[in-house]
Structure 1
Amino acid sequence: MNARVLRVLEYDKMKAQLKMHAASSLGLKKIEELTPHTDFHKTKEELDRTQEGVKVLRLKGQAPLGGIRNISSHIKRAQIGGLLNASELLETADTIYAGRRIKAFIGAMTEDDIDLPLLKGIVDRIVPLTGLEQAIKRCIDDHGEVVDAASPSLRSIRQQIRANEADVRSKLEQMIRSSNQQKKLSDAIVTVRNGRYVVPVKQEYRASFGGIVHDQSASGATLFIEPQSVVNINNRLREAKVKEDQEIERILRELSGQVSEHVDELLENSGCLAELDFLFAKSYYARELEAVPPRLNDGGRFTFKKARHPLIEKDVVVPIDVELGDTFSSLVITGPNTGGKTVTLKTVGLLTLMVQSGLFIPVEEDSEATVFANVFADIGDEQSIEQNLSTFSSHMTNIVDILKGVDHKSLVLFDEIGAGTDPTEGAALAVSILDDVYEKGAKLVATTHYSELKGYAYNREGVMNASVEFDVNTLRPTYRLLIGVPGRSNAFAISRRLGLQESIIQRAEAEINAESRQVEQMITSLDEKRREAEAEEESAKKIRQDAESLQAELRKKLQELENQKNTIFQEAEKKAAAELEKAQAEAKEIIRGLRELQKQGQSVKEHHIIDAKKRLEDASPNLSKRHKEIKKQAKERQSFKPGDEVRVTKFGQNGQVLKKISEKEYLVQLGIMKVNVKVDDMERVKAERVTQPTRPITSVSAKPSVKPELDLRGVRFEEAMRQLEKYLDDAVLAGYPQVHIIHGKGTGALRKGVKEFLKKHPSVKESRDGGMNEGGLGNTVARLQ
C-alpha cells in the first residue's frame, strides 16, 4: 500500500491504539511492521487467528503473556561464545517460562475440546527447555543475583567471606567501644573504603592510632584508617571476594554455554511468542472497540452496517450504513460542509485496511468485507507551498498518479473531486474522471459539492447517489449517510429559516434554470417520502415493542397465577392432610373398640374389620400425586428465553439458555458443553445473562519459596516493575493474604511507581504505607485477593 494513503487514512493512528495492547517489545515490533495484506487467503488466515484469540478472551478473560522479553541479542552473543550477565540469563529463563506457560494454557483449552487449531499450531512449535530454565533459576534469584547454591565452591567461598567479615567487624567494634580509643574517633562506627573495613579517626590522632589510611573526609579532619590488627583479616576477605568473582564468572560462562546449545529453539520460541503477543493484541483491541469479524469475499464488494470510525469516541461517532460492489460499483456522496462526507470516506478506507490487516472492525454482525490489491485516496488539502502548487493543482497531481495505477482490484476514494477551480469546468472534469475509474472496473466512493454530479448518478448504470443528512429545522447536519438519495441544496431553505426576505428568495429561485429546479423538486420529493417511510418504520417498531412488552407482562402474570395456584393447592393439601389424619385416628379408635368387643366375646368378624379399614384408606385422596402432576404441567407451561440462567437439576449445575428447540426442550450452555435439556429438568435462577469472568483461569506452578516481602531497593525502575509483576503472581499462588514491597524512600520515584502499579493490578485489593514498625514510607503493604 502507498505510504501516503496509509497516512491520509490515519492507519498509523489506528496502529498506535493497537500498540497499547501489546505485552512486550516483541509484539510492538510486529505491530510496527504491520501493513495491509493484498492476498485473500492470507487475510482470511489472519482474521481466523484473531477470531481464536477473541474466543480465548471470551472464555478465560485474558491470556498469560507476562514475562516475555526480547532476548534475540542475548542469544546471538551466547552463540558466538560471549558471556551473558546474570540479568540477561534471568530474562532468558523468564522468556522460556512465559513460553511454557502459554503453551500449557492453550493446551489445557484444547484438551477441553475448545477448537483453537491456529493457536495450537503456534504453541506446538514452542520448545519448553525446562532443563535450561531450571539451571538458570537454580543459580540466579529473582533479583538477578547469583545464589550461594549455584555451586559448592561458591557456597564455601561465601561462608569464608561471611566469617572474615564477622571477624573483622567484631575486632573493630571492640576497638570503637574501647574508652581509650573513642576520643580518637570522629564517630563510633565501622565503615568500608576501597573494599576494606575502616574506622573514622580524627586527624590529630593519626600518629598515635597507627594502621593504613584509605581515605579522608572533604574537610580533612577525619581519616578513614584500617587498623593494623585487622589488615590480615581484610587481606583474606579481599582474596575471598576475588575468588567469589571468579567463581561467579565461571558459573555465568557455564550457563551461557548452555544457552548457546539451544540457540535455534530459543529463536523459534521468541518468534512464536512475538506472534502470540501480536495475535492477542489484536484480540484485546477488538474487545475494546466492540468489533466483529466481517464475512470475507473475493468479489470486490463490501457492506458495512452501523460502521464506526475507530478513532472517534464511541459516544460521539454516528454509525453509518454503506455498501459497494453489489448492485453498484461507484458511490457519489453530496451534502454540506462539516456534514460527515470526509469522515465517511475515511471510515470506508480505514475499515478496509483494518480487515486486510487481520483486524476486527467496529460494525454490526452480518457485515461483509473484501480484499483490494490497492487502495487509493485523495482526501484533504494537499496544497504544497514548497512546490508552489494551488489546491487544485495539488489534487490533480495526486489524481494523475492514482489513475495510472487503478485497475479492477482497486478501491478509489475521492474527496471533493474537481474542487478548487471553475465550477463548470470542475464538474465536467469530475464526471470524466469518475467515468474513467468506472470503466477500469475499480470500486469508487467520491464526495462533491457539484449539483451536476447528482444527475450523473441517475444517468449511469452502476453508479449510486448518496448524501449526508442535514436538518433544516436545527440548521445542523445529522451525520447520517443516506444511500440512494442525492443531497439537496439547502441554501434557499436555510436563508428562509434565517429570515431573508421572501421576495429576494423568489428572485433567486427564478434565476435557477428549469432543469435544476426539476432536479431539486425531485430530490425534495424523495426526501419527504424517505422521512415518511422512516416515520412509519419507527411507528411499527414502537407497536412491536409494545406488543412484546404486553406479551412479557402477560407471561409474568400467568406465572404469578401458577405460583398462586400452587400455593393455594399446597395449603389445601396441608389442611386436607390434617383432616385426613384426624379421620384416620378416629377410624383407628373405632377399630380398636371393635377389637375390644371381639375380645369380650361379641360377634365381630375379622374380615369386617379389614373391610372397614380398607374403605377408610380408599377414601383418602392421593393429594401428593395430584400436586406432582400440577407441578409438572406448570413446568411444561413455563418458558425460558436465550440468556436466562437456569439450574439443570439432572446434573446439579447452573447454565445459560442458548435457544428454544421445542415446547419441552431447550439448548443450554453448561460450562464448555452445549446440552439439550427438557423443561422438567430446568429451574430458573435469574433472568439475566451470565457474565464472563474478569480474572484469567490459568494453570501455572508457583515457585516453592516465595517470601512475604519483595526488596526493590537499588533496582532500576523498569526492572523493579518486572520483578513486582512476577512477585505478585507468585504471592497469589502461594496464598499470602498480604505482602510487603520494600522500595525505600530515596527520590520517591520508585515508591510512586510501585503504588501506581498496585492500583492497577487485578490481584491487589488495597495498599497502604507501612506502619511505624513496618518501615514507614519506605515500605508499601499490599492486601491480596
Structure 2
Amino acid sequence: MKKKIEDILEFDKVKQMLSQHIVTKSGLEHVNDLKASHSYDEIEEYLMETEDGMTVLRLRGGIPMPILENIKPHMKRIEIGAMLNGLELAQVGRVLTTVLEIQHFFDDLKDADIELHRLYDWSEKMIALPELSKEIRHAIDEDGTVTDDASPELKQIRQSIRRSEQAVREQLDGILRGKNSNYLSDTIVTMRNDRYVIPVKSEYRSHFGGVVHDQSASGQTVFVEPRQVVELNNRLRQHQISERKEIERILAELSNELEPYRHDILQNAYVLGKLDFINSKALFGKQLKAVVPRLSDEKDVHLKQARHPLIDEDVVVPNDIVIGKDYQAVVITGPNTGGKTITLKTLGLLQLMGQSGLPIPVGEESSIGIFSNIYADIGDEQSIEQNLSTFSSHMTNIVSILDNLDSDSLVLFDELGAGTDPQEGAALAISILDKVGEIGAYVMATTHYPELKVYGYNRPNTINASMEFDVDTLSPTYHLLIGIPGRSNAFEISKRLGLSPDIIEQSKQIIDGESQDLNDMISDLENQRKMTETEYLEMRHYADEAENLYHDLKEAYERFFTEREKEMNKAKREANEVISKAQEESEKMIKDIRQMQLRTGNNQSVKEHELIEVKSGLENLKHDETHLKKNKVLKKEKEKKSFKAGDDVLVEAFGQRGTLIEKVGNKEWQVQLGILKMNVSEDGMTRIAPEKEPRMRVSTVKSDGGGSRQSVSTQLDLRGKRYEDALAEVDQYIDAALLAGYPQVTIVHGRGTGALKQGVQEYLKNNRRVKKYNFAPSNQGGDGATIVTF
C-alpha cells in the first residue's frame, strides 16, 4: 500500500494506539514496520497470530512480557570485541531470563491443552541459554551493579573497603564526639573528592591539620580531611582502585563469553519482540472491543456494526458496510455532515488494518477482502503551490488513480464530480464510475447529484445507499442504509420551519416530474424499511419474553425436584434415626437373651441363626442415602448458596479467604481479598464460617531507664552495602530507634545509582510509624541522606 493512502486514512494514528501497549524496543520496531499485505497466506498468518494473542489474553491475561531494551547495539559492540558495561550486560541477561520464563509459560499452555495456531511455533524459535543466563544473573544485578559474588577477589576487596571505611568513620566519629567538636560547623561526616571529611569552621581550618578539600558557598565552612585519617583514606582509595580494576576484568570476561552466542541472543530478542507485538495487538483489540475478521479471497467485504477506531466508542454510530460479493460499486447519497465521508474512511481504514493483521472494531463473523491497493480521493486537497482549484486538484488525483487502477483495487471517491457545473459534474462522475467498472475495480463513492441515484438502479453490480436523515429533528442519524438512495429533504425541512404550504406546493409543480417520482419512490422505500424494523423489534420483544419465561420455568422445575429430594432425604434420615434407636434396643435385648442361654445351658429355646436373621432384618430397614449424593440436579442446587454483605467466603479460583462488600450484578459480588477488591461470580465462591478473632499475645519490654538510647545511634549509614542487606538493616534500625524513643533519625544512603535511595524511601512510605521523611539539608548530605520523623 502506498504511504499516501495511509496518511489519508490516518493509519499512523492506529499504529500509535498500538504502540501504547508495547513494552519492548524490539516490539516497537515491529509496530513501526507494520504495513498492509496483499498476500492471502501472509494476511492469514498475521490474523492467526492475532487470534492466538487474544486467546492467551482471555485465558491467561496475556503473554507476561517485561520491559526489554534494544540489545542490537550491544551485540554489535560484542562483534567488534568491545566490553559491555554492567547495565548493558544486565539488559542482555534480562533477555536471556525472559526467554526461559516465556518458554515455561508456553509449556504450561501446552500442558493445559490450549490450542494455538502460531504462537507455539514462535516460542520454539527461541534458544534457551540457561547457563549463560545464570552466570550473568549471579554476577550482575538488575540495575547493572556488579555483585560481591561475581568473584572471590571482588568479595574480599569489598570487605576490605568496608573495614577501611569503618576505621575512617571511627576516627572521625571520635573527633565529632571529642573536645574538638566546638571547632566544627556541624557534627556530621561527609564526602569530598571521594574522601571522608568533616565540616570545620573556616577560622579553625588549620587546627586539625590534614588536607582541605572544599569549602561552603558562604566560605564559613571548610571540609577538612584530618591528618589522622589521611593514611586510612589513602588505603581506602587503593582498595577502591582495586575494586574498579576487578570489576572491569569481570565485565570483560562476561562480554567475551557472550560472543559465541551473539546470533542466538539476537534471534531471541527478535522473537520476544514479535511476541510482544502479538500481545499488543491483542490488548489493542480488547481496548477497541475488536474481533479478528474472516478473510475472503473473493473480496467479499462484510463489516457488521463497523466503527471507526479513531472516534470515541460512545459517540460513533456503528454501521453495516458491504461491498464485493453482490456488487462492485456502492453510491452513497445524503446530506452534508451526514457521515458519508466517515463511512468511506471507516471502510478504507478497517480494510487496511485487516490486511495488516490487526483486529478491527466490527461484529462477529465480519469478513474483509484482499486488495492489491486502496486508492482514495477524500477531502479538499487543493494545491496552492500548483495554483489548482478544488475541482482541478480532485481531477488530478482521480486521473492518477485511474492510471494505476487494476481489478484487485478498492477505490474511495468522496463527492465525486463536485466543484464544477452540476450537470457536467454528474456526467463526469457517471463516466468515471463506468471506467472503474470497466477495469473491474471495487468502488464506493459519495455524491450529491440526483443523477447518480438513477445510476445505482441502471448499472449491474451497483447499488445505492444513503445516510439517514431524521426530518422530525432536522438532523442526521449517521445510519447507513444499503439499497435506499438519499432523497432531498428540502420540502419537508422548509415545511417544518414554517414556510408557506402554497410556496412548497408551487415548488413541487416546478420540479421535474421524474425527480419527484424518484423522491416518492425513495420515500416509499424508507417507509417500508421502517415498518419492517418495527415488526422486527416487536417480534424480538416477544422472543425475549418467551426466552425469559423458559428460563423461569426451567428454574422452577429444577427447584421443585430439589425440594422434593430434600424432603425425601429428610424423611429417610428421620426414619433411619428411629430405626437406629430401635436397633440399639434390640441389640441389647438379643444380648440379654444370649446371656440367659449361656447361663441356663438351654440351646433349644432360641437358635443362634435365628438371632442373626432378626438382626439382619433390622439392618435392612434402613434407607440408602448414598444415591442422593449422585443426583446431579441436587448437587447443582446445593452449590447455589444465598449470600449477603459481610459474609466470609472462599474464592475458589485463588484459594483465598475474602469478605463480601456488595452485590454488583445478577450473580456477581464485590469481594475484599486482602488489600484487593475484585468482582467474583457466586459460582466461583463458597460461604465459610467467620474466622475466629486471634488471641493477642502481649509481650512486655522491661524499661532500662533510658539507657537503650545510648546503644542506638541517631544515624544509620548504609553506604557501600548491598541493596537487600541495607533494607534489612533499615528495618531493624527503625525498630530499635522506636524502642529507644527517638523522635527523629537520619539514614545516610548516598547518591550512587539512586536504587538504594529509592528503596529506603519506598520502605519509609509503607511504614505506618513514620510520620514524614525528607532529604537532609545540603550541609548535612543533601539527597544523600534522609531525615525520618516518627
Q: Same fold (TM over 0.5)?
A: yes
Q: Distance in 1 between matches of 2:410 and 2:29?
A: 29
In the TM superposition, what is the alpha-carbon distance from 1:116 to its structure 2 partner?
A: 3.0
Q: Does residue 68 in structure 1 map to residue 68 in structure 2?
A: yes
Q: Does structure 2 conserve the Cα–Cα contact (< 8 Å) formed by 1:67 and 1:95?
A: no
* Residues 122 and 246 of structure 1: CA distance in aligned 2, closer, same or farther (over 3 Å): same
- Residues 118 and 582 (structure 1), Cα distance of their counterparts in 2 relative to 1, 3 Å cut: closer
Partner in structure 1 of residue 239 of structure 2:
240
Comparing 769-778 and 281-290, the one that deviates more: 769-778
**Partner of 2:673 in structure 1?**
none
1:14-33 matches, within 5 Å, as: 14-33=14-33
- For residues 245 and 2 of structure 1, the distance between their equivalents in structure 2, rounded to whole angstroms, comes to 55
Rounded Cα–Cα distance in structure 1 between residues aligned with 2:615 and 2:250: 97
The answer as to whether partners of 1:67 and 1:94 remain within 8 angstroms in 2 is no
Equivalent residue number for residue 131 of structure 2: 131
CA apart distance, 1:400: 1.1
In the TM superposition, residue 195 of structure 1 has moved relative to its aligned partner by 2.8
State the secondary structure of the residue aligned to 2:37: coil
Could you say which residue in structure 2 is the equivalent of 1:451? 450
- Alignment match, 1:332: 331
Residues 393-449 of structure 1 show CA distances to partners (whole Å, capped at 9, x for unaligned) of 221111111111111100001111111111111111110111111111111111111
Between the aligned partners of 1:636 and 1:235, the Cα distance in structure 2 is 80
Q: Please give the secondary structure, in 2, of the residue aligned with 1:126.
A: coil
- The residue type equivalent to 2:401 in the other structure is I
For the pair 1:227 / 2:222, whether they are aligned, the reply is no
Q: Over aligned residues, Cα RMSD in angstroms?
A: 4.3
Contact 1:69 1:94 in 2 (8 A): no
- SS of 1:327 mapped into structure 2: coil
Alignment of 1:169 onto 2:166: no
In the alignment, which residue of structure 2 is the partner of 1:215?
214
Please show how residues 412-427 of structure 1 align to structure 2 within 5 Å. 412-427=411-426
Task: Please report how far the alpha carbon of residue 203 of structure 1 lies from its aligned counterpart in structure 2 after TM superposition.
Answer: 4.2
Could you tell me which residue of structure 1 aligns to residue 498 of structure 2?
499
SS of equivalent to 2:133: helix
2:524 corresponding residue in structure 1: 525
1:776 aligns with 2:766: no
Percent of aligned pairs with the same amino acid: 43
Distance in 1 (alpha carbons) for counterparts of 2:535 and 2:773: 70
TM-score, normalisation: structure 2: 0.76
Give the letter aligned to residue 506 of structure 2.
Answer: R
1:636-675 alignment runs, 5 A limit: none
Structure 2 unmatched runs, 5+: 640-651, 654-679, 686-715, 728-746, 776-784
Please give the secondary structure, in 2, of the residue aligned with 1:466. Answer: strand
Which residue number in structure 2 is paired with residue 739 of structure 1? none
Deviation larger for 129-138 or 21-30: 129-138
- 544-553 vs 447-456, greater mean Cα deviation: 544-553
Rounded Cα–Cα distance in structure 2 between residues aligned with 1:236 and 1:567: 86
The CA deviation string for residues 48-70 of structure 1, in whole angstroms up to 9 with x for no partner, is 11111111112111211104221
Deviation (angstroms), 1:162 = 2.6
Larger RCO of the pair (alpha carbons < 8 Å, separation 6+): 1
- State the secondary structure of the residue aligned to 2:386: coil
Q: Secondary structure at the match of 1:776?
A: strand
Superposed displacement of residue 461, structure 1: 0.7
1:752–1:688 distance in 2 versus 1, CA, 3 Å: farther
| Cα offset, 1:631, TM superposition | 8.8
Structure 1 pair 491–637 and aligned structure 2 pair: CA distance change class (3 A): same
Structure 1 residue 58 and structure 2 residue 83: aligned? no
Measure, in 1, the Cα distance between the counterparts of 2:259 and 2:616: 95
Tell me the distance in 1 between the aligned counterparts of 2:129 and 2:586.
Answer: 84
Kept in 2: contact 1:77–1:83 (CA 8 A): yes
TM-fit CA distance, 1:92: 1.1
* Shift in CA distance, 225/254, structure 1 to aligned 2, threshold 3 Å: same
* 8 Å CA contact 1:50, 1:282 repeated in 2: yes
Work out the CA distance in 1 between the residues paired with 2:496 and 2:135.
Answer: 82
Q: How far apart, CA to CA, are the structure 2 residues paired with 1:353 and 1:224?
A: 68
Aligned residue in 2 for 1:148 = 148
List gaps (5 residues or longer) in structure 1: 641-652, 655-684, 691-710, 715-722, 728-741, 759-765, 781-785
Q: Distance in 2 between matches of 1:362 and 1:6?
A: 18
Within 5 Å, give how 1:369-768 maps onto structure 2: 369-570=368-569, 572-573=571-572, 624=624
The separation in 2 between residues aligned to 1:637 and 1:236, in whole angstroms, is: 78
Q: Hey, what does 1:196 align to over in structure 2?
A: 195
* Alignment length (residue pairs): 679
Residue 73 of structure 1, CA deviation: 0.8
- Please state whether the residue corresponding to 2:118 is helix, strand or coil: helix
Query: Could you tell me whether the CA contact under 8 Å between 1:580 and 1:620 is conserved in 2?
Result: no
Aligned to 1:264: 263
Q: Does 1:114 align with 2:114?
A: yes
Query: Secondary structure of 1:326's match?
Result: coil
Q: Which residue of 1 aligns with 2:80?
A: 80
CA distance in 1, matches of 2:758, 2:422: 61
Instruction: Give runs of aligned pairs for residues 92-107 of structure 1, distance below 5 A.
Output: 92-107=92-107
Q: Per the alignment, do residues 162 and 443 of structure 1 end up closer, same or farther by CA in structure 2, a change over 3 Å counting? A: same
Contact 1:770 1:776 in 2 (8 A): no
| Cross-structure match for 1:737 | none
Match of 2:426, SS state, is: helix
Residues 4-39 of structure 1: CA distance to partner in whole angstroms, max 9, x if unpaired? 211111211111111111112221221111111111
Moved more, 534-543 or 184-193: 184-193
Worse-superposed segment, 207-216 or 414-423: 207-216
**1:297 and 1:618, CA in 2 relative to 1: closer, same or farther beyond 3 A?**
same
Whether contact under 8 Å (2:48, 2:117) holds in the other structure is no
Contact 2:750 2:757 in 1 (8 A): no
Q: Which moved more, 1:437-446 or 1:117-126?
A: 117-126
In the alignment, is the contact (CA less than 8 A) between 1:140 and 1:146 conserved in 2? Answer: yes
Match of 1:39 in 2: 39
